[in-house]
Structure 1
């Protein structure tokens, strides 16, 4: 059986999916046509129901739960992994309140990063959507005043003379005590439930294989990464791939549920009526 699957070219995703798409594990008869896209493109594809299986932001997930269900394997959650709000102008670090006029580059309207920005700084509305990898250059070129960065840019901004204003992941953790849910893997509800659960099983095996054989996918990871420094690539992987990527578990689901509860209470997302997960509750 062949399924379409979408994920980002970032090291954490290629690390997770390498064994799955290259058949280094038993995929239980499943084969995959792969689409590599940035997170906001994947979010929009999910809105249109284009893929059988896809990575997407938890923020965007709230808008597609009528079409997709969340797998327990493959998610990016954790502590100290949140998006960063950065700037080029060092004087912004010392202001008591950021001006509402500041131009902010965000990696997409439906990213979890933008959701967290809205909670922490609801008055900052002058936003420009950019591909996440273009945000640093936009800051350096003066096209924006603030940048909301994700993925491996967390490790490169300082070397380019940029400054961190706030770690929005730390902000979330202080607010809730939960890990921050960034992105998850969903499967189309049109597929038979047995197939949905099979996808969850083989993806878990793929993550477990990656942990057991961390260098196995290095060529695949390097091929798609914007950052060719191997140490930075694995620093990225270690930050975003953890026990929650194998299985959300009780604490992972608690964090996801908390995110959706808070977003609904603040009317950031619509009311959720569908059961979120593929597998039964814990």
Structure 2
């Protein structure tokens, strides 16, 4: 943790390389004029719960949880994770379930009666999975079970579940577990919408006031820009919290999830978030959000 108790901004984000890379400069007092940070490290399923309980000033959460928290929290236009080619994957052990290379669509894929492990039912990954299933699996999915994301690939490998929905660096390591990619949720989302994939959001309490919210957004953006200006400075912080992740994989992780949308959501970013939540609400997966609820003060 950094900062002095009582006057620091209370923030929670994950120990994943993209978050530590983004917040390194701010967390270590290198962003000029920025308030100190009191940092809690927590995986996104935990920060989603913190947001629903309105516990901390600033949180990295899944975009999927926004419909439940937007009355109390504002979406910051920077610091989060959107992108292209970075969506969750559905993995299987049985290669016969996967489509042949070069074959369009998912004809013949059948998860009816199958058990699929997911990291959370209030995650963007889960929403993308359900939207994909609604489009391409006429017989649906047998059973969904929730497991910590780091337990999903071992569960698929060991036959405890038939398929697993994976996120983060699992995109780069699933073949080490002898697994095969059944479908790329991001690929489906991009091909059907043309929009980037919304993954993780930075939110801040509305009760802090509009001036403070704008200050926090500016600090987050500056921290991102400083990380890009000199990536080597952030390496010790990234490695200290990367949970034994190979440095090369950590670099791939950062390269994939920290991009132009991290510095500024922009028109395409906001369209992606609205599109995800609108589609998910139409499927009954999340409550509908009020008009203007995503607008930044």
Q: Same fold (TM over 0.5)?
A: yes
Name the residue aligned to 2:127: 115
C-alpha deviation, 1:125, in angstroms: 5.2
C-alpha deviation, 1:142, in angstroms: 1.9
The reply to whether residue 51 of structure 1 matches residue 72 of structure 2 is no
Name the residue aligned to 1:264: 281
Q: Indicate the SS of the match to 1:104.
A: strand
The reply to whether residue 83 of structure 1 matches residue 88 of structure 2 is yes
2:74 touches 2:296 (CA, 8 Å); kept in 1? no
Paired residues, what number? 279
Query: C-alpha deviations, 1:159-212, integer Å up to 9, x for none?
Result: 221100011000000110000111110001111211111110000000001111
Worse-matched range after superposition: 253-262 or 66-75: 253-262
Name the residue aligned to 2:67: 62
Pick from 181, 202, 205: which aligns with 1:185? 202
Structure 2 distance, partners of 1:254, 1:99, is 31
Q: Indicate the SS of the match to 1:254.
A: helix
Structure 1 distance, partners of 2:255, 2:67, is 27
C-alpha deviation, 1:130, in angstroms: 1.4
Q: Indicate the SS of the match to 1:43.
A: helix
Pick from 142, 151, 174: which aligns with 1:134? 151
1:1-282 alignment, distance < 5 Å? 1-28=7-34, 30-94=35-99, 96-122=108-134, 123-124=140-141, 126-273=143-290, 275-277=292-294, 279-280=296-297
Structure 2 distance, partners of 1:39, 1:272, is 21
Structure 1 distance, partners of 2:293, 2:79, is 15
Structure 1 segments of 4 or more deviating over 6 A? none
Query: C-alpha deviations, 1:12-51, integer Å up to 9, x for none?
Result: 11110111111121243x1221111111111111111111
Q: Indicate the SS of the match to 2:188.
A: helix
Structure 1 distance, partners of 2:294, 2:98, is 41
C-alpha deviation, 1:226, in angstroms: 2.7
Query: C-alpha deviations, 1:135-175, integer Å up to 9, x for none?
Result: 11111222211111100111000122110001100000011
Q: How has the CA–CA distance of structure 1 residues 73 and 222 changed in structure 2, closer, same or farther, with 3 Å as cutoff?
A: same
Structure 2 distance, partners of 1:222, 1:276, is 36
Query: C-alpha deviations, 1:250-271, integer Å up to 9, x for none?
Result: 1111111211222222222112
